[in-house]
């Protein structure tokens, strides 16, 4: 799941200029969500067409929703050499899998499918069968999958899904494209994953609003907090919008790779700030599985990661934990 962010204070269709740098705004639909990109470009040069091509390139490699994609063919057992995009994401996913002791696992695909989270109607016709779900754990475990140069060794009945990291990777890819063209002031958002560099068109730091963990958006009281983001990536994950309910029990799309069941803890939302958007994306997912205590302990050992946690207290009321460096960024 990707929690939707609102990019604050954007006059989306306006343009302003400083010398020859002109603000350009691109937006559209991609990867099952939306993207919004603002950048200061020399003479207003618009890279929208090239950026759309980058989305297509990512889909051709990593989208499980495209039958022709590389990952779909590999999941079907077809023999293909992997490409540079696949290799980059695989290696990053393996890194976070190891660092989080298996809490981030891109091989839970069979379980996500069995729980009905790939269906248009979430949970449609699902029967909760504990024995069935636990038996599927035999076909889960990123440590069982190897990438040797450009060859993926994927055991039978196993498959991969990089949805929990691919949007962050896409943000990085677009950022690299812009920087190769000497664009140094930009804000990129893809499905809620964000990377901000430099300043906005008013010469100020980019301001980002993060939604409260409510099932429905209240436009009059939407944001949990607003912060300044400078040369950093931000990702948020939560369990409050993509779920279904059976017999009064809510089942989140966050699958625990150790139990085979949707994650059950009191953590509602995690916001992560990191230098790398792909890693921020992956950590946000991992922390939702790990829960509050394990996440706080992990971040204490990895101070380059900043977090804002929203969780339910014993009385049912919301509680928050904000790491020290994150606190310095919050303006409201």
Asked if the structure places residue 285 within a domain, the reply is yes
Burial of 199 (0-12, 13-18, 19+ CB in 10 A): middle
In angstroms, the CA 23 to CA 326 distance is: 28
In angstroms, the CA 297 to CA 42 distance is: 45
Task: Specify whether the CB–CB gap between 248 and 282 falls below 8 A.
Answer: no
Task: Specify whether the CB–CB gap between 257 and 113 falls below 8 A.
Answer: no
Whether the predicted pLDDT of 289 surpasses 90: yes
Whether the predicted pLDDT of 6 surpasses 50: no
pLDDT band at 212 (very low <50, low <70, confident <90, very high): confident
- What local confidence, expressed as pLDDT, does residue 4 receive? 42
For 49-90, the pLDDT digits (tens) are: 999 999 999 999 999 999 999 999 999 999 999 999 999 999
3-class SS of residue 223:
strand
Asked if the structure places residue 12 within a domain, the reply is yes
Give 193's DSSP letter: E
Q: Please name every residue paired with 35 in a beta bridge, in sequence order, or none if there are none.
A: 28, 190
Considering only residues 7 and 185, tell me which one the structure prediction assigns the higher pLDDT: 185
Asked if the structure places residue 195 within a domain, the reply is yes
pLDDT band at 116 (very low <50, low <70, confident <90, very high): confident
In angstroms, the CA 267 to CA 98 distance is: 22
Average pLDDT, the chain: 88
Asked if the structure places residue 184 within a domain, the reply is yes
For 189-205, the pLDDT digits (tens) are: 999 999 999 999 999 99
3-class SS of residue 234:
strand
Give 139's DSSP letter: G
Structural domain harbouring 292: 6-329
- At a CB cut-off of 8 Å and minimum separation 6, what does 182 contact? 42
Mean of pLDDT values over 274-297? 97
Whether the predicted pLDDT of 31 surpasses 60: yes
pLDDT band at 115 (very low <50, low <70, confident <90, very high): confident
- What local confidence, expressed as pLDDT, does residue 298 receive? 98
- What local confidence, expressed as pLDDT, does residue 253 receive? 76
Asked if the structure places residue 181 within a domain, the reply is yes
Task: Specify whether the CB–CB gap between 165 and 92 falls below 8 A.
Answer: yes
In angstroms, the CA 9 to CA 58 distance is: 29
- What local confidence, expressed as pLDDT, does residue 123 receive? 54
Give 330's DSSP letter: B
Asked if the structure places residue 130 within a domain, the reply is yes
Give 266's DSSP letter: S
Asked if the structure places residue 1 within a domain, the reply is no
Asked if the structure places residue 307 within a domain, the reply is yes
| CATH number of the domain encompassing residue 93 | 3.10.520.10
CA angle 196, 52, 279 (to 5 degrees): 40
Task: Specify whether the CB–CB gap between 57 and 64 falls below 8 A.
Answer: no
CA angle 313, 304, 176 (to 5 degrees): 115
Considering only residues 242 and 74, tell me which one the structure prediction assigns the higher pLDDT: 74
In angstroms, the CA 114 to CA 112 distance is: 6
Number of domains in the chain: 1
* Cα torsion through 100, 106, 108, 113, rounded to 10: 140
Q: Report the first-to-last Cα separation within the chain, whole angstroms.
A: 26
pLDDT band at 291 (very low <50, low <70, confident <90, very high): very high
Whether the predicted pLDDT of 133 surpasses 90: no
- What local confidence, expressed as pLDDT, does residue 242 receive? 57
Whether the predicted pLDDT of 128 surpasses 80: no
Whether the predicted pLDDT of 114 surpasses 70: yes
In angstroms, the CA 63 to CA 60 distance is: 7
Residue pointed to by tokens 């475990």: 141
- What local confidence, expressed as pLDDT, does residue 9 receive? 40
Q: What is the pTM of this model?
A: 0.90
pLDDT band at 186 (very low <50, low <70, confident <90, very high): very high
């Amino acid at each position: 799941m990707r929690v939707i962010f609102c990019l604050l204070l954007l006059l989306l269709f306006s343009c302003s200029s400083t010398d020859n740098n002109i603000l350009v705004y691109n937006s559209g639909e991609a990867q099952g969500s939306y993207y919004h990109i603002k950048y200061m470009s020399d003479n207003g040069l618009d890279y929208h067409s090239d950026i759309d091509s980058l989305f297509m390139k990512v889909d051709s490699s990593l989208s499980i929703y495209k039958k022709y994609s590389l990952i779909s063919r590999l999941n079907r057992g077809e023999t293909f050499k992997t490409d540079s995009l696949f290799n980059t994401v695989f290696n990053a996913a393996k890194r976070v899998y190891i660092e989080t002791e298996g809490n981030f696992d891109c091989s839970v695909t069979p379980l996500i499918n069995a729980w009905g989270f790939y269906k248009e109607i979430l949970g449609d016709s699902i029967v909760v069968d504990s024995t069935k779900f636990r038996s599927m754990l035999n076909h889960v475990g990123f440590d069982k999958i190897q990438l040797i140069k450009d060859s993926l060794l994927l055991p039978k009945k196993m498959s991969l899904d990089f949805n929990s990291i691919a949007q962050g990777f896409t943000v990085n890819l677009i950022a690299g494209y812009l920087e190769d063209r000497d664009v140094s002031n930009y804000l990129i958002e893809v499905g809620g994953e964000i990377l901000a560099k430099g300043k906005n068109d008013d010469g100020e730091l980019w301001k980002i609003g993060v939604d409260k963990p409510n099932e429905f958006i209240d436009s009059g009281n939407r944001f949990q907090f607003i912060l300044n983001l400078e040369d950093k990536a931000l990702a948020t994950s939560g369990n409050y919008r993509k779920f279904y309910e059976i017999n009064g029990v809510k089942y989140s799309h966050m699958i625990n790779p150790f139990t085979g069941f949707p994650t059950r803890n009191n953590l509602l939302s995690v916001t992560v700030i990191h230098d790398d958007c792909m890693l921020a994306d992956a950590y946000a997912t991992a922390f939702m599985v790990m829960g509050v205590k394990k996440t706080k302990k992990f971040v204490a050992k990895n101070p380059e990661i900043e977090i804002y946690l929203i969780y339910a207290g014993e009385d049912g009321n919301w509680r928050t934990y904000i790491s020290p460096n994150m606190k310095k960024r919050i303006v409201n």
